[in-house]
Structure 1
Amino acid sequence: MMPRIAFVGAGPTTLYTLHALLAHNPPPFRLAIYEAQASAGRGTPYRPGWNDPAMLANIASIEIPPLAETLCDWLRRQTPERLADLGVDPGAIGERTFYPRVALGEYFRDQFDAVLDMARARGVDVELRTRCRVEDAVSTPGAMILKIRSRSGERSEETFDQVVLATGHQWPAEPEVRPGYFLSPWPSSALAAVPACSVGIRGSSLTAIDACVALGNVHGSFDEAEDGETHYRPAPATDAFHMTMMSRKGLLPEADFYAPLPYEPLAICTDEAMKDLVASDEDQLLDAAFELFKAELVAGDPRYAASIGLENLDLEGFCEAYFARRAASDPFEWAEANLAEAKRDYAEKHTVAWRYAILRMHEVLALLVPHLDASDYRRFIRHFKPIFVDDYATVPHKSIRRLIALHRAGKLDVAAIGDDYRIDTSGDEAGATLVLGGERRYFPIFIEAMGQRPLGAAAFPFPSLRRQGIVRDAALEAGKGDMRGIAIDEEFHPLADDAPEDRLFCLSLPFLLGRHPFIQGITSSHEMGLVVGEQLAAVVAEAQAEQAAA
């Protein structure tokens, strides 16, 4: 009997895992894929309807691990009509170009179909069930049982040898949880009814930019050219429309900068050095890692290191120095200057050395996170993580131009609100009130746009796994005391004595963010897929060998 493998969720993580599994040329097996949406492959961040057509992805073709074909190759073979529908200029296709989210969704959908065709050609028995929701998963001594509800409402149970949970981002289907108060800007179609009024947006990163662009298109339009100025044209009778993005530091993200890909090797703060540090039983683990970080940064860009006095800075001091000049500047003036610099650097293929050094080190420092005690974990999340996120979560130049255009049109401001504030939604009126420094500022519409937050076991969508103790909070492990998502090992198995380690894999991003704080979409889907695909291929091969010997 062929092994039975199930994937719950049919987004890019499942796509990359299947691609990696097939790369090992496994013997035939039975594959079932369950997807709650009407089609497979796109994933929530790239789904039409969920995303406004103007929303841009912040990953270029050169960064997307190829599947059956690269994104650029796929775009070049599309008809002009389809490219127009996707908002892609046929003359601007390039490996470093940023495209609308919905265009990436269509690419992944086509690649998903190609991977399933590849599987069938190799003898895999494929069953894809869309508009089908897995409501629970139960571990038994011999198998995993999935409880399934079909599109017609019919319930059934299916048994599998291995199950991969890849349910993706967790957002409410109806984001407006009370009148005028939105827990997320998605689906973007929910923002279409937002009136022309004062809008508060908590966050200033790509998620908040998505909200700004969507609302900007509701109440006006952008006039833009790839190499020219961008202007915002408010629609008639929208004088009252104004957005305020707010965050702790009140900073805008920086524009995407030119960097060699794949990454050039690091010399000091390397994977090997970090693993040696973890194995050394160093008491001050985070501070010791920061010294490696400093040494690499000095070697990479000594002028930058000297300009901020890096030699004499501790971790907290470096965090303040890193943001100091931006925090002291008008955010839109800084954005214009940074955009001009980034544009010049792209034209000259010039890399800002200190930015590139920090970019390459974020994955190295991530190796440290599971080993930090509670105090250092909090320090890392508050002080060190924001540096890396700011450096790698740069945004397309077009996104920066749109923000500047909105600001010039008097429709967007950015506010620094620090830590000592609260958002009051307890009143009878719609929206929410920002309470800061004894003052209250009311917004008839308020949107939470801080991106996906780490989730723990209480939010895990399969209750039986919680009751069985197979899925539990990592905070309970080793008495570390902080929310770190669910307890998993390095190969994405939930840590449970009662379940065979090769039976269940969790690749659902919100529950991994505590342990893997830099999981950031497609590249992470690929990396996790390589790990799990190899394990699944080994399991299938072992099952075949056992059957042959029986």
Structure 2
Amino acid sequence: MTRSIAFVGAGPTSIYTLHALLRQEPPPFELTLFEKQASVGRGTPYRPGWNDPAMLSNIASVEIPLLEETLVDWLDRQSDDRLAELHISREQIDDRAFYPRVLLGEYFYDQLHAMLDRATRAGVMVNVRTRCEVVDAISADDGMTLVVRPEQGDVFKTRFDHVVLATGHQWPDQPEVRPGYFVSPWPASEIEKIPACRIGIRGSSLTAIDAAVALAVSHGEFVDDGEDGLVYAPCADTHDFHMTMLSRKGLLPEADFYFPIPYEPLAICNDEAIEGLIAGQNDDLLDQAFALFKQELAAADGAYAQQVGLDRLNMEEFCDGYFAERMAAAPFAWAERNLAEAKADYEARRTVAWRYAILRMHEVIQNLIPHLDDADFQRFSRLFKPVFVDDYATVPHESIKRMLALHKAGKLDVMKVGENYRIDSHRAESGAVLHLDGELVHFPVFIEATGQRALAAKDFPFASLRDQGIVRDVAADQERGPARGIVLDDQFHPISPDIPDDQLFCLSLPFIMGRHPFIQGITSSCEMGRVVGAELAAAVVRESAAVGEPAIHARGMALS
């Protein structure tokens, strides 16, 4: 009997999972992709309409894990007219370049369809169900039943042996939930309707930059005038247009820095060392990991370690000190200096050793998270996590140039709000009011732009799995304990005695961020996909053998 596999969601996470599955060359199976949108492959972060063509991704071409072909190879074979439609020129194609989000969407669209064509030729039964929203999932001994609501027609139910939930970010299609108050900057097509006025944006990272860029291009344009570099030219009658980013620390993200790819191995704070700490089951696990972090950092960049007095610092002191110099400087002055340094390092192919060491360690330290008690999990989230996020969430140089251009044009500022502030969006006025240090500041339009937050089981979109006890929170007491996501094992199965092995995999980002705090972006999609793809392939082979089907590898399935 042919085994059936369903993917709920057809963005990059499903693409990389399917790619990993097909690489294993399992016996033929039945594959169904469910996608709420009109087409598969682009995913929320990369589809047009949801994103403005001016919005940039923050992953360089060389960092994008291989599918059927590299991004650069795909771009090289596009026509000049097609490249113009994607808002780049042939001269801009480079493996270290950053591209518009919608361009990546077209790349993933083509890669998925090439994979599906190859799978079909190899004997896989492929069903693509677009404009179909999966509204529930119910586990039983004989499989998973999905409840599907098509855009046209009646709701129907269908059963599968294995289901992968890869529903991605959770944002409403209509972000303006109250007059002038937007719970997200997507879709960009809605943000671009905002009139020229005073606008507050909570956040200052890439999500906030996306919001600022979408607003900026709807009320003006960025122009490279040669002499002054990139400048912002506002449209007529936009004198009231001004954006204020509200940032706890009052900082902009730093510019992308040069580093070797693939990563060089870590010598001290590596997977083996962290696994050893976990096996030791000591109460001070986080502090022991920080000691390894310090040793690795000092070995990588002794001058930096001496400059900051690393050997004398505990975790709290290091994490506070990491941001201290930047917080003491004006954010746009710092951004201008940092951009100049990053550009010089790229030109010289020079790596800042301490930055590179922190970048490589974030994935290793992440392995600790499921083993931390609530107190240390909160310490990690409040102190250590922001250091890693700041280091890996750098942004394209073009993004920094745009923020500087907006600031010089008098259209953008960054306000430091600290921890003790409040946003009130339920007043009679439109937008929201900032309560800070006894002062009230009204923004007629206010946009929440701090990115996807971790969600608890109560927010899980498939109610039956909650009711069956299959999807539940890590913390028993969500009112007093920190939000740590839903209970999953290392293979992304929900841990429950009430569901058969390998029946369900959850790769839905908001519900796994508690266990995997850095798991976002394309590289994370690939890493998760490798794990789940191998699990699915093994299940298909095992189950085919159990019913006596010949374990013949499908021909033509060897993928890049």
Q: Same fold (TM over 0.5)?
A: yes
* Equivalent runs, 1:79-94 vs 2, <5 Å: 79-94=79-94
Q: What SS does structure 1 have at the residue aligned with 2:192?
A: helix
2:255 counterpart letter in structure 1: A
Per-residue Cα deviation, 1:383-419 (whole angstroms, up to 9, x for no partner): 0000000000000000000000000000000011001
Q: Indicate the residue corresponding to 2:194 in structure 1.
A: 194
Distance of 1:462 and 1:155 partners within structure 2: 15
Contact 1:373 1:480 in 2 (8 A): no
Q: Name the structure 2 match of 1:381.
A: 381
Amino acid at match of 1:215: L
Q: Which residue of 1 aligns with 2:101?
A: 101
1:38 Cα deviation after fit:
0.3
| Deviation (angstroms), 1:520 | 1.9
Corresponding position of 1:528: 528
Q: 1:2 — aligned with what?
A: 2
1:2: how far off? 0.2
What per-residue deviation string (whole Å, max 9, x for no partner) do you get for residues 81-119 of structure 1? 111111112111000000000000000000010111111
Contact 2:475 2:481 in 1 (8 A): yes
TM-aligned CA deviation for residue 501 of structure 1: 2.2
Q: Is the 8 A contact 1:134 1:148 kept in 2?
A: yes
Contact 1:366 1:517 in 2 (8 A): yes
Match of 2:554 in 1: none
Aligned to 1:276: 276
Determine helix, strand or coil for the equivalent of 1:454. coil
Q: Which residue number corresponds to residue 355 of structure 1? A: 355
Conserved in 2, the CA contact under 8 Å of 1:4 and 1:29?
yes
Residue of structure 1 in register with 2:322 after alignment = 322
Quote the residue 2:68 is aligned against. Answer: 68
Q: C-alpha distance in 2, partners of 1:325/1:170? A: 35
Which residue does the alignment assign to 2:162? 162
Query: In 2, Cα distance between the equivalents of 1:322 and 1:439?
Result: 29
More displaced stretch, 309-318 vs 255-264: 309-318
Tell whether the 8 Å contact from 2:225 to 2:231 is kept in structure 1 after alignment: no
Q: TM-score, normalised by structure 2?
A: 0.97
Residue matched to 1:401: 401
Could you tell me how far 1:309 is from its partner in structure 2? 1.2
Q: Is the 8 A contact 1:175 1:183 kept in 2?
A: yes
Residue by residue, what CA displacement relative to the aligned partner does 1:219-278 show, whole Å, maximum 9, x if unpaired? 111003899711000110111111000111010000000000000011100100000001
Structure 1 stretches of 5 or more lacking a match?
Answer: none
Measured against aligned partners, the alpha-carbon deviations of 1:473-523 in whole angstroms (never above 9, x if no partner) come to 111299993211111010000011110121100001111100000012100
What does the per-residue CA deviation read over 1:453-476, in whole Å, with 9 as the maximum and x for residues that have no partner? 001111111000000000011112
* Paired residue secondary structure (1:210): helix
Distance in 2 (CA, whole Å) between partners of 1:323 and 1:17 is: 37
1:226–1:398: 8 Å Cα contact kept in structure 2?
A: no
Q: Cα deviation per residue 1:18-58 (whole Å; 9 max; x = unaligned)?
A: 10001000000011110000000010000100001100000
Matches within 5 A, 1:332-347: 332-347=332-347
Mapping 1:174-323, distance limit 5 Å: 174-224=174-224, 229-323=229-323
**Correspondences of 1:436-515 after superposition (within 5 Å):** 436-476=436-476, 481-515=481-515
Deviation at 1:151, TM superposition (A): 2.1
Q: C-alpha distance in 1, partners of 2:226/2:458?
A: 46
Q: Give the % identical residues.
A: 62
1:437-457 Cα shifts (integer Å, max 9, x gaps): 110000000000000000111
Equivalenced residue count is: 550
Partner of 2:135: 135
Which one scores higher on RCO, CA 8 angstroms, separation ≥ 6? 2
Give yes or no for the alignment of 1:365 onto 2:365. Answer: yes
In structure 2, what is the Cα distance between the partners aligned to 1:308 and 1:226?
A: 39
In the alignment, structure 2 segments of 5+ residues that lack a partner are 551-560
Opposite residue 159 of structure 1, the aligned amino acid is R
Following superposition, the deviation at residue 429 of structure 1 comes to 1.0
> Is 1:116 paired with 2:116?
yes
CA distance in 2, matches of 1:227, 1:501: 63
